[in-house]
Amino acid sequence: MFKKKVFWGILVALVAIGVVFYLVGAKMSPTLSEQNGQRPKEATVFFHGYGSSRNAEKSMSQYLVDHDYSNRRINVTVAKDGTVTMDKTIAPGDKNPIILVQFDNNKSQDFNQTAKWVTTIMTKLSQQGIRSVNLIGHSMGNMAIAFYLMNAADNGHDLPKVVRQISIAGTYNGLILANPQSNSPLSAEGEPQTKTEIFNRLAGLTAYYQNHSTKVLNIYGNSTGGSASDTTVYNNSSKALKYFVRQPSTYQETLIEGAGGQHSKLHENQTVDQDILKFLQN
């Protein structure tokens, strides 16, 4: 009887030790997809604003790399003739690759054309195994995203699913200089009392969000105090995005106040970086 108790005691101890080693090994070992050399399935794509370049995306993307969200940044360039090139391919072992887009025609306001360029980018990502994306835009880069969602995101089943969208300093009811009425008061649902041409052109966004489950984070800055703007875009213009987002998609917003909320400083702001990382990990 004593020997049986000893035997079972040793057996239980060995099993317990085995479980501990298994759990520790699972944390330290590469994932199954890494072992099999599979490519990642999700990418995060940045779009810059008017007259800008991918340089505006580098600080935010570097923060994601520094905090172990990603280990790979890929530069994508859209030439003035619409040709899309990538400086690297998505490779096995890449973790949450980050795509830094640059439009060489960086002042184009033909947003239907811009949407076609974005579609080409998404097609290339799909061909390299990407099945879902997070889209991040600053200023007019959000128009590239919005018109892509309206015009193309539903047109091809092979295009990556948009899981998350982050809008920074969005211009959904226009810019201060071009559209002084873009500070029009908003309803509780985000609808402006006075709608600009660009807001009316975005009407198709509602159908997109109703037919998809996309998580939306809207970040905007107030660096001017009383005028409630980031010096380039009124907060009410940025907040008008809320009107289009309907269930099952979800919407949340973040206000950045003070000097760091200025239009161009928003993409160099560590609070914004932290909000982006937290949202991507959610």
Domains and CATH numbers, the chain: 42-281 (3.40.50.1820)
Average pLDDT score, the chain? 89
What is residue 22's predicted lDDT score, i.e. its pLDDT?
Answer: 43
What is the pLDDT averaged over residues 200-217? 97
**181-197 tens-digit pLDDT:** 999 999 999 999 999 99
The pLDDT value given to residue 282: 87
pLDDT tens-digit map of 248-269: 999 999 999 999 999 999 999 9
Mean pLDDT of 23-39: 46
User: Tokens 């000893």 belong to which residue?
Assistant: 6
Given this model, what pLDDT does residue 227 score? Answer: 87
The residue-averaged pLDDT of 28-37 equals 43
Across 105-133, average pLDDT: 96
State residue 30's pLDDT score.
Answer: 41
Residue 274 has pLDDT above 70, yes or no: yes
For the stretch 233-248, pLDDT in tens is: 999 999 999 999 999 9
